[in-house]
Amino acid sequence: MATTVSLPPTPYTATTHKYESGLWSWLSTTDHKRVGQLYLYTSLFWFLVGGLEAGMIRTQLYGPNGHFVSATTYNELFTMHGTTMIFLVIMPLSAAFFNFLIPLQIGARDVAFPRLNAFSYWVFLFGGLFINASWFFHAAPNAGWFGYAPLTTRPYSPGLNIDFWVIGLQILGISSLAAGFNFITTIINMRAPGMHFMRMPVFTWMAFITQFLIVLAFPIITVALTFLMLDRFFGTNFYEVSAGADPLLWQHLFWLFGHPEVYILILPAFGLVSEVIPVFSRKPLFGYPVMIYSGILIAFLGFGVWAHHMFAVGMGPIADSFFSITTMLIAIPTGVKIFNWLGTMWGGSLRFTTAMKFAIGLVALFTIGGISGVMHASPPSDLQQTDSYFIVAHFHYVLFGGSMMGLFAGLYFFYPKITGRLMGEKAGSWHFWLTAIGMNLTFFPMHFLGLHGMPRRISTYDAGQGWEQDNHLASYGAILIVIGTCFFVYNWFRSMKTGKVAGNDPWGGATLEWMIPSPPPDYNFATIPNVTSRYPLWDRKSPRLTAEVPHGSAAETKIDVEVAGQKTGTLPAPSDTTGNAASPQPVTSSAKQLGIVMPTPTIRPLLAALSLGSVFIGLIMHKNLPIMFLAAICFMLSLYSWLLTPLEPEHH
């Protein structure tokens, strides 16, 4: 393919890994790549569910006074669409990449806490099932993903709906926090020799920043939800307005979490696109340090803008001015990122693979979301825009045009690394164009709907308000997105069987993950590589591409580090086996044969997650104390058993 340097095969090709198979191996896995795939498939499933909800919303709103679903059902649909897409799709889909890629990109054999990693996934799975189980009780959450008090308090929402929501989000928060600490530890401690912070791949950098956002922002929503849970189950008065509570408490807590959450959703996609664009431009990333600093700055400023969601609550001119200015400031580092991507493409040799198309899609579409974002950073103007369809348009450009486009770019880009085969480019192209056109057709008219006075979250609107045409267009666009998604699903499963065999490095990648076989063996790297620049693989295969980027001194390349009883050497030259074999290479040597110590599989994280989840089941069953007590004991026992079992087999 694009690789210009052909090198003789090395032992790496012979060590292609064959997974252990069977249900048990998946339930007990602690391999970060398998946990990543579990995240991947679970979140893609929820993507279809969330999309189905979106489709029903667009059917209802196709014309005025729609009666496809009742007002009650509509309110459940838009609440669950938002909750699903944010907590069960974009976040875990990013987590799938964190899991799969971070150890590979930093040259590690697994994450710092492999069992905690498995535990995170099982808790996430349980939380998603829990919150969606509400559908079967005809009690899906119905107060919006933002769940403003006092609508969520018992007097105004007496049913189980909000119970499912508040407990479900708590469960998902546990998962995110556990994963966050895990990845921070992994990235700080497990980088390969020579991989300084300023040589880390940009995706890993953005993931690193995201984890800090998660561990700083999730405790806030946890507090807010705990207050609500105490109100609903134990009669406290945090949000109980009849007892004099101030409902703005919830809003401040929620958005103090909610705005960093927006960056939790977008930064991983920025990271993925920063991997894809240089590879298909055949150029190093433009302004690497600035990309990193702007990411850090976005995350930092992201904690100081929350009240721009609240310009209509009457905070007074001083607060409005403050949050207006901070919000405008955050546009600057975001703009820098856009321009640096363009700078990367400038002068490049652009190859329009499907991954690249989606990456460019992010750059082009996120820009639109950014511009409308600046428009409602101006409070007087925002008073006309907030809670109207203009906002719906804005954040779908950010989250669909931004996050989802970036994640799709990542999926097409890393599919060969995950499965060993390439995804079909033709079906991929259909997927991209249908999604891009459908997405614009759906969300661009919503700008006009908002400016023409259509409020958000309404289950129906009257005829003759000038909203019919744009709502028609939006619903037609949704159909295109659905068709595009069908191409994606078809392509995904068909390529798994018949896709072209990828080899180690199908795209001419620059970072460590492209050095090892696809799919990688369970131990990832037989020898821990020694990193000399930001683009270790280009250093070997296309040195001309990295001639301009800073490199380590000669002394650095001599670093010897003992990992699992083995001395690491310098980076061996990789091989290029693209298209040479009919199927991914069969396994020849396992971790055991190579003397690499890997964590043993264990069912204990799953048991811990299940018993922890059962505590919450007891809570929602009208505080069923015996169940809660029993589950808590099971949780403690499984933790003990987890802690008393060694992580790895005994050293020999």
Query: Footprint of another protein on residues 324-383 (CB under 8 A)?
Result: 324-325, 328-329, 331-332, 335-336, 338-340, 342-343, 345-352, 360, 363-364, 367-368, 371-372, 374-375, 377-383
Smallest separation, CB 582 to another protein (Å): 26
Residues of span 458-487 touching another protein by CB under 8 A: 458-466, 469-470, 473, 477
Which residue in 252, 259, 540, 541 is the catalytic one?
Answer: 259
Which residue in 33, 309, 534, 540 is the catalytic one?
Answer: 309
By beta-carbon proximity to another protein, the closer residue of 44 and 454 is 454
Among 106, 229, 245, 418, binds another protein (CB under 8 A): 245
Four-residue CA torsion sign, 546, 424, 89, 38 = negative
Which residue in 176, 327, 372, 527 is the catalytic one?
Answer: 176
At residue 144, φ and ψ (nearest 5 deg) are 85, 155
* From 242-250, 255-263, 521-529, 639-647, span contacting another protein (CB under 8 A): 242-250
Task: Give which of 407, 119, 376, 116 is closest to 267, Cα–Cα.
Answer: 407
* From 131-139, 316-324, 561-569, 576-584, span contacting another protein (CB under 8 A): 316-324
Residues of span 86-115 touching another protein by CB under 8 A: none
Residues of span 532-561 touching another protein by CB under 8 A: 544-545, 547-549
d(CA 468, CA 472): 6
DSSP conformational letter for 531: -
Catalytic residue list contains 421: no
* From 47-55, 62-70, 486-494, 590-598, span contacting another protein (CB under 8 A): 62-70
* From 44-52, 69-77, 201-209, 552-560, span contacting another protein (CB under 8 A): 69-77
562: β partners: 567
Is the separation of the CB atoms in 548 and 572 below 8 Å? no
By beta-carbon proximity to another protein, the closer residue of 15 and 340 is 340
Cα 645 → chain centroid: 31
Task: Give which of 393, 397, 390 is closest to 368, Cα–Cα.
Answer: 397
Smallest separation, CB 1 to another protein (Å): 11
Which residue in 76, 231, 240, 261 is the catalytic one?
Answer: 261
Buried b (16+ CB within 10 A) or exposed e, 104-123: bbbbbbbbbbbbbbbbbbbb
By beta-carbon proximity to another protein, the closer residue of 50 and 278 is 278
Catalytic residue list contains 429: no
Catalytic residue list contains 81: yes
Which residue in 18, 351, 452, 456 is the catalytic one?
Answer: 456
| Omega of the bond leading into 260 within 30 degrees of 0 (cis) | no
DSSP conformational letter for 651: P
d(CA 321, CA 647): 53
Smallest separation, CB 302 to another protein (Å): 17
Smallest separation, CB 329 to another protein (Å): 8
Compute how many residues bind another protein; rule: CB under 8 A.
113
Residue 147 — left, alpha, or beta (φ > 0 → left; ψ -120 to 50 → alpha)?
A: left
Four-residue CA torsion sign, 548, 553, 554, 557 = negative
Catalytic residue list contains 138: no
Residues of span 70-89 touching another protein by CB under 8 A: 70-72, 75
By beta-carbon proximity to another protein, the closer residue of 218 and 227 is 227
Length of the chain: 652
Smallest separation, CB 241 to another protein (Å): 4
Smallest separation, CB 289 to another protein (Å): 8
Largest CA-CA distance found in the chain, in angstroms, rounded: 79
Which residue in 39, 121, 145, 306 is the catalytic one?
Answer: 145
The amino acid present at 476, given as its one-letter code, is Y
d(CA 514, CA 541): 11
Catalytic residue list contains 518: no
Smallest separation, CB 340 to another protein (Å): 7
Catalytic residue list contains 505: no
Smallest separation, CB 164 to another protein (Å): 17
Task: Give which of 400, 326, 417 is closest to 365, Cα–Cα.
Answer: 400
Smallest separation, CB 275 to another protein (Å): 15
Four-residue CA torsion sign, 380, 381, 384, 389 = negative
Catalytic residue list contains 576: no
Catalytic residue list contains 389: no
Catalytic residue list contains 387: no
CA gyration radius, the chain: 25
Residues of span 125-144 touching another protein by CB under 8 A: 143-144
Task: Give which of 268, 417, 280, 439 is closest to 357, Cα–Cα.
Answer: 280
Catalytic residue list contains 31: no
Q: Which residue has the tokens 């298909």?
A: 280
Smallest separation, CB 41 to another protein (Å): 29
d(CA 44, CA 51): 10
d(CA 34, CA 617): 28
501: β partners: 421
Residues of span 174-203 touching another protein by CB under 8 A: none
Tokens describing residue 592 = 């055991």
* From 146-154, 491-499, 572-580, 589-597, span contacting another protein (CB under 8 A): 146-154
Residue 64 interacts with another protein (CB under 8 A): yes or no: yes
Half-sphere exposure of 107 (CA within 13 A, CB side): 28
Among 115, 252, 259, 283, binds another protein (CB under 8 A): 283
Residues of span 286-315 touching another protein by CB under 8 A: 286-290, 312-314
By beta-carbon proximity to another protein, the closer residue of 31 and 470 is 470
Cα dist from 578 to 501, 508, 616, whole Å = 7, 10, 49
d(CA 63, CA 79): 21
d(CA 402, CA 213): 18
Tokens describing residue 25 = 């191996």
Residues of span 382-421 touching another protein by CB under 8 A: 382-388
Is the separation of the CB atoms in 552 and 521 below 8 Å? no
By beta-carbon proximity to another protein, the closer residue of 469 and 593 is 469
Residue 528 interacts with another protein (CB under 8 A): yes or no: no
Residues of span 2-21 touching another protein by CB under 8 A: 4
Residue 626 interacts with another protein (CB under 8 A): yes or no: no
Q: Which residue has the tokens 């992994």?
A: 186
Which residue in 32, 58, 81, 199 is the catalytic one?
Answer: 81
Give the contacts of 470 (CB within 8 A, at least 6 positions apart): 445, 446, 448, 449, 452
Catalytic residue list contains 456: yes
Smallest separation, CB 539 to another protein (Å): 13
Which residue in 58, 232, 337, 396 is the catalytic one?
Answer: 337
Catalytic residue list contains 15: no
Smallest separation, CB 618 to another protein (Å): 29
CB atoms within 10 A of CB 301: 20
Q: Catalytic site residues?
A: 81, 110, 145, 175-176, 259, 261, 263, 274, 308-309, 334, 337, 456
